[in-house]
Structure 1
Amino acid sequence: MDFPATPHLAALFKYTIIFGLLVAFLVLLTLAVVESDKFLPAAGIDRYMQRMAFGEATDTRDPNLYYGIVVDCGSSGSRVFVYSWPRHTGNPAQLLDIRQMRDLQGRPVVKRITPGLSTLASNPDEASTYLKPLLQYAAYHIPRDKHKETPLYILATAGMRMLSESDQEDILDNLRENVPLDYEFLFSDTHVEVISGKQEGVYAWIGINFVLGRFNHAEEDDPMVEVEFDQTSLSEASQVPSILRKRTVGVLDMGGGSLQIAFEVPKSDDISKSLIAEFNLGCDKHHTEHVYRVYVSTFLGYGSNSILKLYREQMANTSRSTSILDPCLPRDMPLEHTTQDGRHVHFKGTGDYTVCRTNLHHFLNKTVPCQKQPCSFNGVYQPNIDFKNSEFYGFSEFWYSMEDVLRIGGKYEYKKFEKAASDFCKTRWSLLEDRYEKGLYPQADEYRFRSQCFKSAWMATIMHDGFSFPANYSSLRSAQLIYDREVQWTLGAILYRTRFLPLK
């Protein structure tokens, strides 16, 4: 017998369907989260969600919150970064929980001005006036009652390094004298300086590993490494031969003009102090939990744009012909070039990726004598890398060469990259140009697109012929952002420079 549907039964049926859909949605969401966690570092989903909360506005009403300011004075401009952190837990095995300050809209408290500080070489008395927009911006966002305990660091990089020492000091002296007159920040003479490329590399290494959680306590599935200590550099209270701790990541960074590598050296080998940076990131200098030894090397002139210019010039000068076949250009791609002595040369691409890589090898200067073994290239010493127990992140050109055109950014796979790069190079330029004009490469500007064949070959040459990464190395990831944000060396600088402050 059929019973007529009642309003109660209809409502029950409707709610049952809604409940079932809700359960299905929650199951799918859980599966998606678990699946996405496979692509995150071993820190796990809890830490990922914690990092995602960085978008929340900083609570400036919290009396237990502290602040720090870093001004990055680069070659083309200067930027101010404001950081905040809660009171330290008191556990010497934990670092400060430093985060980038966020305004009421959740945006990072960052401001940039141009041109660079180094342009004031002829007017050093204008240095403090030049920085006022940045310092006023920082002062506005930090609670007034916190100014006197807020450290301010003004750190200059490449542009200032190129000035004479006297020009550098004239600019720095002006800042040392005048900044304290206008602001109450914690600021001393040692808080303003021109940092070396080595220091900048160390700060970048610290910042990236901090964001990845590599300085935190190890969890069950975290990769570990045994770290040995140089007993002569430790206090009596810290005399331990070695400890087992979470493995850190190495950093590869290639810009247009320079190239840099930085990684931890776990073994206490006989290495010159000038080649290794050893530092304690912990809040207690008597503990070894956060003592790190990092190798950093910067190669000026080995950036992708610098090498490309040198390559073109050498090809033109070697041939002395006005028409040259170039294996590092896509097939049939034309290129006009004017040499330094004024000759006009016409290049035509052959798109031979393998020959291109072979032709680039001599730029590594492998024949330069190695004063201390082993060396990477150009006679520069580099400690052996344990490729079986290591992990690297590649930034800037390592990301652009993999992602902007080839669209394989992320985990680096040698065979996959070589095939994608080779296929691009040997494709006729008319077809590539047609694809580009149709918007199929939205991340690549015209210069990137035209130089992609060369730059992918140079990246692979540096990786495998320069730094000697084996073809089967599977622990390199190219990246532009970590946890959806750009990681600046200034984060590493504030972490390093505030580690022994009394307020912790």
Structure 2
Amino acid sequence: MDGKYSNGAICVMDCVLTYKRALLLCLILIVSALLQSKEQPGSTAKIWIKGSKMGSESKHTYLLVLLAASLISIILALILRLANNVEVTPPPGEKYGMVFDAGSSHTSLFIYKWPTDKQNNTGVVSQAHVCDVKGPGISSYAEDPPAAAQSLVACLDEAMAIIPSQSQREAPVYLGATAGMRLLSLENPTTSDKVLREVSKVISRYPFNFRGARIISGQEEGAYGWITINYLLESFMKYSFSGRWVRPTVSNIYGALDLGGASTQISFIPKEAVEDINEKSDFKLYGFPYSIYTHSFLCYGQNQALKQMLVKAVTGQDLKQPVNIPCYPNGYTATVPLESLYDSPCTAANAPSTSGSAQIAIVGTGDSAKCRALIKSIFNFSACSGQASCSFDGVYQPPVIGNFFAFSAFFYTFDFLNLTSGQSLSTVNTAINTFCARDWSEIQSSYPKEKADRLRDYCANGNYVLSLLLDAYKFNEDNWNSISFMKQASNTDIGWTLGYMLNLTNMIPSESVAPMKAQNYDLWLASVIFIVMNKRFLLTGICAFCFEVSLSLSSPRHPWHNAVRLITLLTCAPIECTPTPEWLPPPLSAPTPEWLMRIVEIRNTYLPSPDKYGIVFDAGSSHTSLYVYKWPANKENDTGIVSQIYMCSIQGPGISSYADNPAQAGESLKPCMEEALTVIPASQQKETTTLLGATAGMRLLRIMNKSVTNPNQTQELFREISKTLREYPVDFQSARILTGSEEGSLGWITVNYILGTILRYSFTSTWIHPDGQTIGAMDLGGASTQMTFVPSVAIEDKDAEMHFRLYGYNYTIYTHSYLCYGQDQFFKRVLAALVKDSHTLAVAHPCYPKGYTATVSPASLYNSPCVPRAIIPEQNFTVTGAGNPDQCRQTVMEVMNFTNCRIEPCSFDGVYQPPVHGLFYAFSAFYYTLNFLNLTDGQSLSVTNQTVQEFCTLEWKKLEQDFPLEKKDRLLHYCTSAIYILTLLLDGYNFSEQTWGNIHFTQQVDNTDVGWTLGYMLNLTNRIPSEAPSLLKGHSYNMWVSALFFIVLSITAGLVATSLQFFRRNVCSGQGGWS
């Protein structure tokens, strides 16, 4: 090979090839050379083969074998390293949709979005933006329909700026007009159609998927509002603390009560099937079907109802004289055009034949009773013909059932009257009657910022709300507290648009997210650099090697010789050639392959942090339970998102029962501990925080130890338990007695965590801090009871104050635990008090049913430190039931001790307690007792008192007959327990008839048993370091395979080429190298 060829080979080493062209070129050169070698017997191929045989006998063969082994090892190591990846699922894309809510008084545009991967075919929709259209509702543009359309332009322009351009053509947009346009359609259908046509023209000009503009039916408005409420309240679906969307196990579906200006809607799921198909709406949301009753009453919205009330008031009156209006405040006077009462389709039928420009004088009399009767007269109850399943105007309605959300004007009216905090029906009636009796001048001076027409109407509106709910919808005193008057649900205004968009997503195709292969950043960067450098050097070397092989296999005199060289040089673009041959053509472009650029343009994704684990033993007075919790290491504002993954009930009694055999207490924990370790990954066990917390049972044992011969029983129990738990590969911290304040406050954390009042996952896929109030917690156990809440005033007794920081927010709570006031211990104290007062061995128990008789031993009664031992009978005594609830209450009051108060205000036993504030959850024995009496559905205090009174007068024989499956001991004590609960709540904790509705008696919170252990683990995560997720560079699976294949191919090809070059130079060295 002459110098020109050598220079050409050097130049080719610097050429930059595209990969497809390089491989194709190699194939052409090798095939052409092999064909040429067959034609020429004296070709270099034979020399090479011969040289190879000779070289196999030389010492260089061994070096080559070692080099090949090394190269293979390097290749394998690189492949294994580059194949090191994880499979991750990137976040889904987003879709958008828009809905115009064209109401009677205004129009709003709501922009919604949802992830493309839906949940059971329904989108997880969140509100992205709201734009209030300037001006009145579109029905007000009857005289100028184009102006109605033009009023929407500003909000449509906002939507263009908010929705990404690539999502606009797929974004559905819809305009739904409600009661205002329904009335216009009744009055002038041609005009209403023209308004909708003009609106449609304007919306169609925008690059959205316009779905139409129309008047929605009242039934649609009510049904979509029902969807909105239950979606926001997470009745259909919620995000669990375990990190996935789930359907609530026992879904608490709410009814919806909407009161607008022109119409009112009621929607709920009745107990029985809906009989009238015209009042039925069916939906399928998140994979589950729902069938609801819904009806909209046009002309019974608040504004139209008051107009009907005025018409009723003036009908038959001498209009030349002032007309008395009992729904207006005393002292209010005004003159109104008579025709203004009949300018609505709702009242036009009653217009007198000649109203003209007549004016009438009206005078307010402020008589609530007459107002209520006047308003009731606008409903046509006679049309129901006495049918039970009928509301008014002959409209079918099944009996109301369950909880209801009353919003819009329901809320605004009651909010003004301060009646939205769960007040009883009697309190509501009293408040409305009191307001209606006030003089107009007094009302104006009390509310100077309120508009006069609104202020005038509040008496009428309050009575209309009562009449609508009680007389029309047939709520009553028993289920009144099932109605919640709310402006928002989950901090979101309630309306029909969100429900419409939610249902619409069922018809929009879902887009699944493909998993990606991801690498950490450093490895990804190294791969990119390697590929880029290979493009410049390595594959160019392969090209050069192929060129050299083709030349060595061909004869310089063969006609293909120059052609092969020319093809190679024309395919390769020289970068730097020194010297540059005169025959070399200008550089040719070699564009970077598209897929190589895609390696650089990847998606950032994150590898979730590993889960952390914790174990907590709840050692109660009667039993012990083990709970296993976990949370992602990447916490939210320093606090973990904790979820329970396992629970195990320890066989046997509580650990305090092992006082005489401490070793057995430790042994009893082993089966559950061994099961727990099967749940926790072995790699995480050494970091698993483990604690045993004992509550009231061990507190009592500690008190008893002070007066017995073995005062160290408590310490011995904990030593044996600690010894057992340290045998396991976990991070055991301690076994100890929790204070009553700890138990109460940690239970409060549990309640509020589960209810989502301290942290909630929003439909925008982020954890947020809710703006609402926290919930108080009341626990009634066997040995103690706890009261915990956030008061509205400063806590004066610092011993009753606890501080927490959770998810970046500080909480200061009041908490107190009353030892010996648990249900079982209190029963003993009541009986001991009766024994003390009887002075005989025959004791009449007013809380036990008549006809019950039992013999009780002193040992069974006085075996607790809670029971006073001043007088202990030496013989058994006989207890006889008296069935006297009034005397029972008196006895309970005496045992509770209301005489001593150290710091005002007090509860009982001299314990300081600030006034109760907000909502409360009462669980454990609070729930079990009232649930037995069927009093956990929001019954009023009067109904609860009456039910308890009647139960406590039943005879023992009757109770045994009516409740044959109930355990006798429980059946015996239900009266005592019920009266104790009422006394504790009303006289002890100072609830009242007005605040009774704020108490929710429940066994579980969000389908989870309530206790202190979850709260403990939640608070503990504040002290465990957080671990951020790892940033990864993700490719699609095909892209990752292609990149990996190229890297392996490049390494292999380059190393093989180098080896062959070395081998050939070695075997041909006696011939002067390449020739």
Q: TM-score, normalised by structure 2?
A: 0.34
Q: Deviations over 1:221-248 (max 9, x none)?
A: xxxxxxxxxxxxxxxxxxxxxx984121
What is the distance in 2 between the residues matched to 1:394 and 1:409? 10
Find the partner of 1:477 among 471, 484, 493.
Answer: 484
Matches within 5 A, 1:17-416: 64-88=93-117, 91-92=119-120, 95-101=122-128, 108-118=129-139, 131-161=152-182, 162-163=184-185, 179=203, 182-187=205-210, 190-216=211-237, 245-269=250-274, 271-282=275-286, 287=287, 289=288, 291-320=289-318, 322-340=321-339, 341=355, 342-349=358-365, 351-370=366-385, 374-386=389-401, 390-404=402-416, 406-416=417-427
Q: Is residue 312–residue 378 contact of structure 2 (8 Å, CA) maintained in 1?
A: no
Distance 1:298 1:183, change over 3 A: same
Amino acid at match of 2:412: Y
C-alpha RMSD of the superposition: 3.4
Aligned positions, number: 394
Q: Which moved more, 1:271-280 or 1:108-117?
A: 108-117
Distance 1:157 1:401, change over 3 A: closer
Q: Is residue 412–residue 478 contact of structure 1 (8 Å, CA) maintained in 2?
A: no
Structure 1 position 74, deviation (Å)? 3.4
Secondary structure at 1:214 match in 2 = coil
Q: Is residue 128–residue 178 contact of structure 1 (8 Å, CA) maintained in 2?
A: yes
Amino acid at match of 1:98: V
Q: Deviations over 1:116-165 (max 9, x none)?
A: 44567677788876644333321211111122332222333334443366
Secondary structure at 2:277 match in 1 = coil
Distance 1:119 1:354, change over 3 A: closer
* Pair member with larger Rg: 2
Structure 1 position 81, deviation (Å)? 1.2
Structure 1 position 313, deviation (Å)? 3.4
What is the distance in 2 between the residues matched to 1:128 and 1:434? 42
Secondary structure at 1:82 match in 2 = strand
For structure 1, the 5+ residue unaligned runs are 1-61, 102-107, 221-242
What is the distance in 2 between the residues matched to 1:503 and 1:323? 65
Distance 1:402 1:72, change over 3 A: closer
Amino acid at match of 2:280: I
What is the distance in 1 between the residues matched to 2:308 and 2:226? 29
Secondary structure at 1:310 match in 2 = helix
In structure 2, the partner of 1:19 is none
In structure 2, the partner of 1:431 is 442
Amino acid at match of 1:393: F
What is the distance in 2 between the residues matched to 1:100 and 1:462? 32
The answer on 1:418 being equivalent to 2:429 is: yes
Distance 1:371 1:138, change over 3 A: farther
Amino acid at match of 2:508: L
Structure 1 position 414, deviation (Å)? 0.9
Q: Is residue 218–residue 298 contact of structure 2 (8 Å, CA) maintained in 1?
A: no
Amino acid at match of 1:199: E
What is the distance in 1 between the residues matched to 2:360 and 2:92? 67
In structure 2, the partner of 1:466 is 472
Structure 1 position 167, deviation (Å)? 5.5
Structure 1 position 422, deviation (Å)? 1.1
What is the distance in 1 between the residues matched to 2:324 and 2:192? 46
Amino acid at match of 1:396: S
In structure 2, the partner of 1:23 is none
In structure 1, the partner of 2:506 is 499
Amino acid at match of 2:328: L
In structure 2, the partner of 1:42 is none
For structure 2, the 5+ residue unaligned runs are 1-90, 242-247, 340-354, 512-1075
Q: Deviations over 1:355-383 (max 9, x none)?
A: 32123222111112459762101111112
Identity across the alignment (%): 28
Q: Which moved more, 1:122-131 or 1:377-386?
A: 122-131
Q: TM-score, normalised by structure 1?
A: 0.69
Q: Is residue 150–residue 202 contact of structure 2 (8 Å, CA) maintained in 1?
A: no
Q: Is residue 313–residue 339 contact of structure 1 (8 Å, CA) maintained in 2?
A: no
Q: Is residue 176–residue 192 contact of structure 1 (8 Å, CA) maintained in 2?
A: yes
In structure 2, the partner of 1:446 is 452
Amino acid at match of 2:313: M
Amino acid at match of 2:415: E
Amino acid at match of 1:304: Q
Q: Is residue 155–residue 192 contact of structure 1 (8 Å, CA) maintained in 2?
A: yes
Q: Is residue 157–residue 196 contact of structure 1 (8 Å, CA) maintained in 2?
A: yes
Q: Is residue 104–residue 261 contact of structure 2 (8 Å, CA) maintained in 1?
A: no
What is the distance in 1 between the residues matched to 2:201 and 2:446? 57
What is the distance in 1 between the residues matched to 2:360 and 2:177? 40
Secondary structure at 1:110 match in 2 = strand
Amino acid at match of 1:491: L
Q: Is residue 109–residue 131 contact of structure 2 (8 Å, CA) maintained in 1?
A: yes
Structure 1 position 166, deviation (Å)? 5.8
Q: Is residue 254–residue 396 contact of structure 1 (8 Å, CA) maintained in 2?
A: yes
Structure 1 position 503, deviation (Å)? 3.1
Q: Is residue 327–residue 371 contact of structure 2 (8 Å, CA) maintained in 1?
A: yes
Secondary structure at 1:134 match in 2 = helix
Distance 1:303 1:127, change over 3 A: closer
Secondary structure at 1:363 match in 2 = coil
What is the distance in 1 between the residues matched to 2:132 and 2:451? 26
Q: Is residue 96–residue 112 contact of structure 2 (8 Å, CA) maintained in 1?
A: yes
What is the distance in 2 between the residues matched to 1:381 and 1:472? 22
Q: Is residue 267–residue 292 contact of structure 2 (8 Å, CA) maintained in 1?
A: yes
Structure 1 position 100, deviation (Å)? 0.8
Structure 1 position 479, deviation (Å)? 1.5
Q: Deviations over 1:167-192 (max 9, x none)?
A: 66666566667755x443334xx544
Q: Deviations over 1:80-115 (max 9, x none)?
A: 2111122335x52x84221111xxxxxx34241435
Secondary structure at 2:494 match in 1 = coil
Distance 1:323 1:79, change over 3 A: closer
Secondary structure at 2:99 match in 1 = strand
Structure 1 position 412, deviation (Å)? 4.8
